[in-house]
Structure 1
Amino acid sequence: MSIPFLAFLFIGFILLISSFFTVKQQTAVIIERFGKFNSIRQSGLQLKIPVIDRIAGRVNLRIQQLDVIIETKTKDNVFVKLKVSVQFKVIQDKAYEAFYKLEYPHDQITSYVFDVVRAEVPKLILDDVFVRKDDVAVAVKRELNEAMTTYGYDIINTLITDIDPDIQVKNAMNRINAADREKTAAEYEAEAGRIRIVAKAKAEAESKKLQGQGIADQRREIARGLVESVDALNQVGISSQEASALIVVTQHYDTLQAIGADANSNLILLPNSPQAGSDMLNNMVASFTASNQVGESMKKYRKTKTEDKKDFPTENFGDNDSPETV
């Protein structure tokens, strides 16, 4: 074989090899013939005319994401940075428009995101930006879809993934949140204290009630015991006055004994002489005797007055008249 033939054969082989090309999945290849659009090839093994046809470019049909960071001002004059994530893809049937009508799709999308966010966020105060971030994202998606569909792009979703206010504003918000939580905690603590006070007061009231009932029962039993003691003493010839005096003296000595039994007691009972019991007994007997005499005199006086009223019905005798006056 001659050299020219070998060269021709080599060139033919190279041209044959260059006629075939492959297209990856979820990719579209733009074929131009003499610089003019010819066709769009999909995934698989494809054939083109060497030298005449060329691959002008490849269009990615997979979903892509573009993160846009925007700084803007809210209605209450707070500067915030928002991170907007835009998920988009090229419409397979509009790969021609996506390749030829728009040279820098990322820049175009970024411009629309800036325009919409800076139109929507200044209408809201800072708190509403956090609450209504989904509304802002929906507005961005709606605006982008209207604009980018013409260029062969479909906006899948838009997400506001971060809202970052100025550091001083965040510190102030944290202080407000902390103060609000402290206020709530103080209210709960106050309510718990009130409940404890009410419960303690109810317990004390119930305790006092039971204590009062116990004292009343105790005094009732003491009175019943005194009555029985007096009756027993009367049966052996001791009068009621003497029996009462004897009981009082006995209780006096019982009290002294109880005081002496307590080693830590600092109580002093006056008078506290050996003849104190005897003096007390004599005084009580004398008092009872005088009381009986006064009672007998009052009975006689009332009896006399009643008889005088029967004898002289027209006379006016006052209840406060003394026997001498009558």
Structure 2
Amino acid sequence: MPTMCQDNVFVQLICTIQYRVVKENADDAFYELQNPQQQIQAYVFDVVRAIVPRMNLDDLFEQKNDVAKAVLEELEKVMGDYGYSIEHILMVDIIPDAAVRKAMNEINAAQRLQLASVYKGEAEKILLVKKAEAEAEAKYLSGVGIAKQRQAITDGLRENILNFSHSVSGTSAKEVMDLIMVTQYFDTIKELGEGSKNTTVFIPHGPGHVRDISEQIRDGMMQASSSNV
């Protein structure tokens, strides 16, 4: 049955009606109405067209059961006098105009796209935060590892100096340190030469330069020790 809502939207309502003849009033049902189906349909149209124009389309979808209940109550009062009992009314479907359905679908699609964009933005935000946290944690662990490595090197050098001083009489800690620095210097030169992916590196080389390097390192260590005191 076609009708119009309060917001000027034409809709088509489809409903099913279950009714039966009351056994005690079978004579009335047979003689009073010539076409009961047409009479029921007319009453349904009358009730629907009285209720639906007072409702918006959204309200109609939400309250379709209330519309069916109002139709049922009206039919029970009217058709009961003719020997009919209205058992049940079901509002099967509400079909708006095609243009309105298209607009409703577009609105729904736009809302879902907007919601999807919000979720996507939140997900990207979480990924960026987690990535930043992971990078910060990696840098922290790298710093801890480097600090432990340097501490281990320092402890090893200290132990080597003490062992060498005890094993070879007449040697001072400075002489042992110079010897270790020379050894490490040549090990570094060797690694630079053996590396397959190393680029050309120009460094000063000679006995005097080795002494200068050891003095610079020793001075740096002494300055660091004095600053910690």
Q: Quick check: 2:17–2:89 contact (8 Å CA) kept in 1? A: yes
Q: Which runs of 5 or more residues in structure 2 are unaligned?
A: 221-229
Shift of 1:138: 0.5
Q: In the alignment, residue 281 of structure 1 is paired with which amino acid?
A: V
Q: Quick check: 2:185–2:210 contact (8 Å CA) kept in 1? A: no
| Counterparts of residues 166-245 of structure 1 (less than 5 Å) | 166-235=97-166, 236=168, 237-245=170-178
Partner of 1:87: 18
More helix by share: 2
TM-score normalised to the size of structure 1?
0.59
Q: Which has the higher contact order (CA 8 A, sep 6+)?
A: 2
The correspondence for 1:157, drawn from 88, 102, 117, is 88
Shift of 1:284: 5.2
Residue 281 in structure 1 maps to residue 196 in structure 2: no
Q: Quick check: 1:249–1:277 contact (8 Å CA) kept in 2? A: no
Aligned residue pairs, count: 218
State how far apart, in whole Å, the 1-side matches of 2:130 and 2:111 are: 29
Residue 265 in structure 1 maps to residue 194 in structure 2: no
State how far apart, in whole Å, the 2-side matches of 1:252 and 1:166 are: 89
- Bigger Rg, which one: 1
State how far apart, in whole Å, the 1-side matches of 2:143 and 2:40 are: 87
The correspondence for 1:248, drawn from 174, 178, 181, is 181
More strand by share: 1
State how far apart, in whole Å, the 2-side matches of 1:77 and 1:238 are: 107
Shift of 1:251: 2.4
State how far apart, in whole Å, the 2-side matches of 1:86 and 1:100 are: 22
Give the superposed CA RMSD.
2.7
Q: Percent identity?
A: 44
| Counterparts of residues 110-149 of structure 1 (less than 5 Å) | 110-149=41-80
TM-score normalised to the size of structure 2?
0.81
Q: Quick check: 1:259–1:267 contact (8 Å CA) kept in 2? A: no
Shift of 1:192: 3.4
Q: Quick check: 1:81–1:164 contact (8 Å CA) kept in 2? A: yes
Q: Which runs of 5 or more residues in structure 1 are unaligned?
A: 1-69, 292-326
Partner of 2:223: none
State how far apart, in whole Å, the 2-side matches of 1:100 and 1:287 are: 124
Partner of 1:105: 36
